[in-house]
Amino acid sequence: MSLMQRACAEFIGTFWLVLGGCGSAVLAAAFPGLGIGLLGVSLAFGLSVLTMAYAIGHVSGCHLNPAVSIGLVAGRRFPSSELLPYIVAQVLGALAGAGVLYLIASGRPDFSTAGGFAANGYDEHSPGSYSMTAGLVSEAVMTFMFLLIILGATDARAPKGFAPIAIGLALTLIHLVSIPVTNTSVNPARSTGPAVFVGGWALSQLWLFWVAPILGAVAAGGVYRAVAGADRP
């Protein structure tokens, strides 16, 4: 596959991640009488990754996340020369997904981005009013574990065909734990899409949701290489 084809696949996959995951939070989480709640939103994020992993994993690797791409570079699973096109495609896909979600959500008369629009935040913008330090630790550690699972599940020595299930369930678990802390990012692109539409506080706090996931991902790449004992393409 050409780099352009793979970047387009990343665009589509990240679009689906934001539309499916953030869409579940904005449209369905608190719907009167039928709301899916925290469990439903967590499953939606996991299912969005699982379905795309089977749909485009054979095309682009289904990163859908700048932190994942950077972590795979750190783990020597992905060439650094292709990192920037992947990140650009992922961010654009997230913006497109958030844009479509905005068009749908704004069809409701009482819609307002003041409710957060699934943006990530800390302090008074954390669902549980958790501090910046708590958010930083949560995002870094959760991304670290996410990358370890990705690297392990996709290792040449791992059972074949099951990686999307492990990765999707891992993202579900991460959301179950950390939605109350930051609304869960572990993905700078996912954070950027909604933040652009919310503006203000969401953009001013966006730095954390780039820095923490990238730190966690880079650490995971190095740790997995040390634990696995071999570099694999």
Decide: pTM greater than 0.85: yes
The pLDDT of residue 232: 52
Could you give phi then psi for residue 130, rounded to 5 degrees?
A: -80, 150
The angle formed by the CA atoms of residues 30, 33 and 35, to the nearest 5 degrees, is 30
Q: For residue 8, what are the domain limits?
A: 3-228
90 lies in some domain = yes
105 lies in some domain = yes
The pLDDT of residue 135: 98
233 lies in some domain = no
16 neighbors 95 (Cβ within 8 angstroms): no
Residue 233: other Cβ atoms inside 10 A: 7
In angstroms, the CA 129 to CA 79 distance is 39
Residue with tokens 């020369």: 81
- In angstroms, the Cα distances linking 198 to 7, 40, 45, 110 are 26, 23, 20, 16
The pLDDT of residue 116: 82
Amino acid at 101: L
143 lies in some domain = yes
CATH number at residue 57: 1.20.1080.10
The domain total for the chain is: 1
Could you give phi then psi for residue 31, rounded to 5 degrees?
A: -60, 130
In angstroms, the CA 227 to CA 148 distance is 10
The pLDDT of residue 138: 98
The pLDDT of residue 229: 73
The parts of the chain modelled with pLDDT lower than 70 are 230-233
Cβ-proximal residues to 141 (8 Å cutoff; 6+ apart), any chain: 216
Rounded to a whole number of angstroms, the distance between the first and last alpha carbons of the chain is 16
158 lies in some domain = yes
206 lies in some domain = yes
The pLDDT of residue 219: 98
174 neighbors 145 (Cβ within 8 angstroms): yes
78 neighbors 69 (Cβ within 8 angstroms): yes
Structure tokens at 30: 């608190």
Condensed to tens digits (0 to 9), the pLDDT of residues 29-78 reads: 878 878 899 999 999 999 999 999 999 999 999 999 999 999 999 999 99
132 lies in some domain = yes
Q: Which among 92, 88, 82 has a CA at the least distance from the CA of 61?
A: 82
